[in-house]
Structure 1
Amino acid sequence: MATIGLDRLYYSKITEDSNGEETYAVPSVLAKAITAELSVELVEAILYADDGAAEVVKDFNSGTLTLGVDDIGPTVAADLTGASTDDNGVLISASENVGTPVAVGFRAQKANGTYRYFWLYRAKFGLPATNLQTKADSITFSTPTIEGTVMRRNKLDGMGKHPWKAEVTEGDAGVSAGTITGWFTEVYEPVYTPEP
């Protein structure tokens, strides 16, 4: 079903242990969401045998997340891009700044009034793009966009895999109310029941 809205844009800072496994901080509001565009790049391998394709493997390689937001404040800019605020409260971006990966969560409203929820487990952002325009006969809003590369996380899930995205639709079979109400209180961790 098509989506008709986008809101509740959050991010969570990541700390890594000596093995590179992620621990997520309590999520914070990133900004008011205007747009979110996620494109995915796959790695593909084809094995040919008996004059035809015998095996095809397509695996997630990376993704690009482009966010259009109302504003990126200095704290969020520092967390996402590595910029710093000087003693006078001025945000300073330097060529040496390197942002650290964060998890990004948001939700999209569906036409039936329910929501689809997302967490992207590891995204590294570049500097926000700014478009400015003078006022003329009418007012045009100029808002920043920020683009990040989405990667799989280092931490294994209960199935021994490296997830890159969690997605759930409110009201689907097997989805508990607690999963939905707690979605933005912490980054969602996959839950699997061990097989006997």
Structure 2
Amino acid sequence: MAKIGLKYLVAAKLNEDGTTYAKGFVVAKAIKANITANSNDVKLYADDGVSESDKSFKDGNISLNVDDLTQKVYADLLGHEYKAANSEGNEPETVVASADDIAPYHGVGFYGRVRRNNKDSFLAKWLKKTQFSEPNDETDTKGETVTFQTPTIEGTVFQMSDGTWKEQAEFTEESKAVEWLNKKAGIGA
């Protein structure tokens, strides 16, 4: 399988019931998504050898490089206070970050084109429970040429109470991948 591209990065806040999501949103245009699953690595030794082993999912790491994190999305993902700009234009859109803020859990999804045996399909992924941490804030001066600087937000992927942590589905039509993600995130519902 060859992966070709990445699109439609969405998220939805996990409700307090731990099984449903609030109305979702598009995070940003996706540049790169990196998910690393961490496994338990436990061995039981008996009779001078390995008798049992456990390589089950423990948690994961997620890194999302995007074209932009708007003030609203940044606040939503990290649990910060968001204030919209007022209609008179004398109060700007503002985010207030506090040391006591706790980033809420979100479901996160995206899709990309995959090619197998010269046929394209669209693989969509939904990470059921993620929690993001404050991204690094780097800004460089403009040199002789323009260099685009884009944010990367990282977090941890957890399993749900039923042990599941990810769903993925493959579609022959791109619109079906978007539809599936919209349903997962409650977008347009």
Scaled by the length of structure 2, the TM-score of the pair is: 0.83
CA distance in 2, matches of 1:147, 1:41: 15
Q: Does the 8 Å CA contact 1:26/1:185 hold for their aligned counterparts?
A: no
- Report 1 or 2 for greater relative contact order, CA contacts < 8 Å, sequence distance ≥ 6: 2
Counterpart selection for 1:35 from 32, 36, 49: 32
CA distance in 2, matches of 1:72, 1:185: 20
CA distance in 2, matches of 1:186, 1:74: 25
CA distance in 2, matches of 1:67, 1:180: 19
Q: Does the 8 Å CA contact 1:102/1:121 hold for their aligned counterparts?
A: yes
RMSD: 2.2
- Are the structure 2 counterparts of residues 82 and 181 from structure 1 closer, same or farther at C-alpha, using a change threshold of 3 Å? closer
Higher strand share: 2
User: Which moves more between the two structures, 145-154 or 106-115?
Assistant: 106-115
- Structure 1, residues 74-111: CA drift from partner, whole Å, max 9, x if none? 22111110112247321222222211000000012213
Counterpart selection for 1:97 from 95, 101, 105: 101
Instruction: Name structure 2 gaps, 5 residues minimum.
Output: 86-90
CA distance in 1, matches of 2:60, 2:151: 20
Q: In the comparison of the two structures, how many residue pairs are matched?
A: 175
Identity %: 34
Q: Is 1:23 equivalent to 2:20 in the alignment? A: yes
Scaled by the length of structure 1, the TM-score of the pair is: 0.81
Q: Is 1:148 equivalent to 2:152 in the alignment? A: no
- Are the structure 2 counterparts of residues 83 and 177 from structure 1 closer, same or farther at C-alpha, using a change threshold of 3 Å? closer
CA distance in 2, matches of 1:64, 1:4: 22
Runs of 4+ in 1 over 6 A off after TM superposition: 176-179
Which runs of structure 2 are paired with 1:85-164 in the superposition (5 Å)?
85-86=82-83, 88=91, 89-111=93-115, 112-154=119-161, 156=162, 162-164=163-165
Deviation, 1:49, is: 2.8
Instruction: Name structure 1 gaps, 5 residues minimum.
Output: 157-161, 189-196
CA distance in 1, matches of 2:179, 2:29: 20
Q: Is 1:64 equivalent to 2:61 in the alignment? A: yes
CA distance in 2, matches of 1:62, 1:24: 20
Q: Does the 8 Å CA contact 1:62/1:150 hold for their aligned counterparts?
A: yes
- Are the structure 2 counterparts of residues 179 and 140 from structure 1 closer, same or farther at C-alpha, using a change threshold of 3 Å? closer
Deviation, 1:167, is: 1.2
- Tell me the residue number matched to 1:192: none
Deviation, 1:148, is: 0.9
